[in-house]
Structure 1
Amino acid sequence: MLTCIDGVIDAPTLAAVREQLADPARFQSGAATAAGRARQVKHNLQGVDTDPQVRGVTRLLERTLWEHPVFRAAARPRQLARLLLSRYEAGMAYGTHIDAPQIDGVRTDVSFTLFLSEPDSYEGGELVIESGAGEDAIKLPAGALVCYPSSFLHRVAPVTAGTRLVAVGWVRSEVRSAEQRGLLFALDSALARLAEQPGDPAAIAELSNIRANLVRMWLDA
């Protein structure tokens, strides 16, 4: 299940993040962190993790994600495996690949891309995700995020002009099954809508109990 979430980062924070990452010297070849076949198809730049500015931005984004209620409902994170800052300049791309089942010893259930560049500031660079329903080409506004099962094949289309800046990461979820996470997210969304309008309190309580029991049944210990 693909889930797009708008407004994960507000405009002032985005501007500050882009300013701190404006210097290309803060990035190095992204191939260093790729494994297996991914190393052959990964052609981008990646934030230098020892750079103080890069580390500061990474910590800020991690904290923002942990505190974001919609991201938490969609991914149900137990642990964040890693968060990387990626930069694509003209001619760069990331060919079709699947994410590693473990990163830094953490199982990867959910992958996500947080867009930091405005979509009209670069050409190409769509995140193309393959699933049983076909392909989805995703290019979201700055500050928006897409998360999807880490088992999906995906690629980044070539950037033909401008610079694409994103944060990518992986989550170990407390609910391992993508289908179960999707059902819980649908329940969370329905309960949130019901809470915004007058309704039957008994029905809302019953749905809340069903949700709680499903979480209890599906939690990955």
Structure 2
Amino acid sequence: MIVIPDLLTPHEVAKFRRHLADVPFSDGKETAMGMAASVKNNGQADANDKRVQQLANALLSKLGAHPQVVSAALPQRIFPPCFNRYSQSQTYGYHVDAAIMRIPNTPDVLRSDMSMTVFLSEKEEYEGGELVIQTGFGEQCIKCDAGSAILYPSSSLHKVTPVTKGKRIAAITWMQSMVGDQQIRETLYQLDQAIQSLLSSDTASREQLDQLHHVYHNLIRKFTNV
């Protein structure tokens, strides 16, 4: 799991919130697949609404250009973001995201390797509504500041706990990585982050950085499928 703080600026968050206040929302069960429909209780913005599509495209542009998202997910395809809303007593029980998703209005499909939640409500605006992800180290409970995001394996069982006060607004999306193997993808991310840290601290020589880049990019060549 990777938390990405300040994916969106406060100004961008305010813009998303302002536009989402004017778009139609429907029962989230309508878009759930398989067993997930029985545990899903939230509202979802109408993906066919032009205003929602414009917001989705704006967020797609941010994701595709964000260095930490690219480093962590190595995305080959990104599903058009969806926007959901949890009001009081609404929740989404434990479920696993569909492995294969059809990209709306296209013949293309996407393998969900990584899932992402982008928080659009401030933590203080609602009670409950934590994203809970099952991991090998137990349940991880996440509630981020508005504009921040959490990126995690789509293979994980996860849920959103009941909102007991206020409203929780977020965007969700899924990514197909160029590196399908989760362990290899994590290793490449750790290596890239180490290189970036050395670059910013100016503690490594150009020759040392060139050697690390050489290793990183040759690993990318070996393990990516494009």
Could you tell me the TM-score, scaled by structure 2's length?
A: 0.94
Unaligned runs of 5+ in 1: none
From 152, 156, 161, give the equivalent of 1:152.
Answer: 156
What's the counterpart of residue 218 of structure 1?
Answer: 223
C-alpha contact (below 8 Å) 1:78/1:173 kept by paired residues: yes
What's the counterpart of residue 27 of structure 1?
Answer: 25
Q: Distance in 2 between matches of 1:63 and 1:55?
A: 12
What's the counterpart of residue 118 of structure 1?
Answer: 122
What's the counterpart of residue 100 of structure 1?
Answer: 98
Displacement after TM superposition at 1:210 (Å):
0.7
Q: Distance in 2 between matches of 1:157 and 1:192?
A: 36
Displacement after TM superposition at 1:175 (Å):
0.6
C-alpha contact (below 8 Å) 2:88/2:166 kept by paired residues: yes
- The answer to whether 1:70 aligns with 2:68 is yes
C-alpha contact (below 8 Å) 2:57/2:80 kept by paired residues: no
C-alpha contact (below 8 Å) 1:26/1:54 kept by paired residues: no
Unaligned runs of 5+ in 2: 103-108
**What RMSD, in angstroms, separates the aligned Cα atoms of the two structures?**
1.0
Matches for 1:38-77 after TM superposition, within 5 Å = 38-77=36-75
C-alpha contact (below 8 Å) 1:34/1:42 kept by paired residues: yes
C-alpha contact (below 8 Å) 1:44/1:92 kept by paired residues: yes
Displacement after TM superposition at 1:181 (Å):
1.1
Q: Distance in 1 between matches of 2:176 and 2:215?
A: 24
C-alpha contact (below 8 Å) 1:82/1:103 kept by paired residues: no
Supply the AA of the counterpart residue of 2:72.
Answer: A
What's the counterpart of residue 10 of structure 2?
Answer: 11
What's the counterpart of residue 138 of structure 2?
Answer: 134
Q: Distance in 2 between matches of 1:174 and 1:131?
A: 23
What's the counterpart of residue 37 of structure 1?
Answer: 35
Displacement after TM superposition at 1:82 (Å):
3.4
Q: Distance in 1 between matches of 2:186 and 2:179?
A: 10
Matches for 1:163-182 after TM superposition, within 5 Å = 163-182=167-186
What number of residue pairs does the alignment pair up?
Answer: 219
Write out per-residue CA displacement over residues 40-82 of structure 1, whole angstroms, 9 at most, x where no aligned residue: 0000000101222212111111111111111111111000133
- The answer to whether 1:189 aligns with 2:193 is yes
What's the counterpart of residue 105 of structure 2?
Answer: none
